[in-house]
């Protein structure tokens, strides 16, 4: 399925056109395309066939490593109740850095640094997952997982080091700034 607010959309697999469909308002286009590795490109078109936008997905290779990105709290966290967590996303990538959407590796998260950081929860977006949310590890879903990093002690200026590991993959790390603060929370 391709969701767009454009009047039409065309779909190309490895440069070969597989069709053009009109898209109803608030609707989507649906194409049946046999799987082939390579690139799949959707082209949003106006009613006069003017190209408005292109989006290409590339077939990923074998899982090689993990990457980490601070999705919330990148500017810093503290021990204050309003600002004491950061969300850190882990992604399984191939040698070219492309997300591997079929990856389901078990990813373990570890933290160290100022403010006595802990992993207070994990997730992966899989609504059918029966894994505990209060853990320091999570199976990747569609190649992704998430850790909730929290300050548990008084924030002293410095940083938190977050490390993600998974068997057979290169580990990843990221640092989160810790802002000095005096509001210590207890959970």
- Ranges of beta strands (E only) in the chain are 2-3, 8-13, 16-22, 28-29, 39-45, 51-58, 65-72, 85-93, 106-113, 117-123, 137-139, 144-151, 158-165, 172-178
**Is residue 87's pLDDT more than 90?**
yes
Q: What strand order describes the sheet that includes 117-123?
A: 65-72, 85-93, 144-151, 117-123
The candidate with the shortest Cα–Cα distance to 94, out of 143, 38, 145, is 143
pLDDT of residue 183: 41
What is the arithmetic mean of pLDDT over 24-45?
Answer: 94
SS3 letters across 25-74: CCCEECCCCCCCCCEEEEEEECCCCCEEEEEEEECCCCCCEEEEEEEECC
| Entry pTM | 0.81
Tokens representing residue 182 in the block = 């005096």
- pLDDT recorded at residue 81: 67
Give the pLDDT confidence of 50-70 residue by residue, as tens digits. 999 999 999 999 999 999 999
**Averaged pLDDT score across all residues of the chain:** 92
Residue 186 has pLDDT above 50, yes or no: no
Confidence band for 181, pLDDT divided at 50, 70 and 90: low
């Amino acid at each position: 399925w391709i969701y767009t607010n454009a009047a039409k959309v065309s779909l190309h697999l490895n440069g070969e056109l597989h069709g053009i469909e009109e898209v109803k308002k608030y609707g989507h286009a649906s194409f049946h395309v046999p799987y082939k590795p390579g690139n799949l490109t959707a082209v949003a078109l106006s009613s006069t066939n003017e190209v408005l936008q292109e989006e290409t997905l590339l077939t990923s290779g074998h899982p090689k490593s993990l990457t980490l990105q601070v999705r919330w709290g990148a500017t810093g966290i503290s021990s204050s109740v309003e600002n004491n967590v950061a969300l850190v996303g882990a992604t399984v990538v191939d040698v070219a850095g492309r997300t591997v959407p079929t990856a389901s590796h078990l990813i373990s998260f570890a933290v160290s640094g100022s403010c006595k950081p802990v992993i207070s929860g994990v997730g992966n977006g899989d609504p059918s997952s029966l894994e505990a949310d209060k853990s320091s590890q999570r199976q990747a879903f569609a190649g992704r997982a998430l850790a909730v990093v929290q300050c548990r002690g008084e924030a002293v200026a410095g940083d938190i080091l977050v490390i993600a590991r998974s068997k057979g993959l290169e580990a990843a790390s990221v640092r989160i700034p810790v802002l000095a603060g005096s509001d210590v929370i207890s959970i």
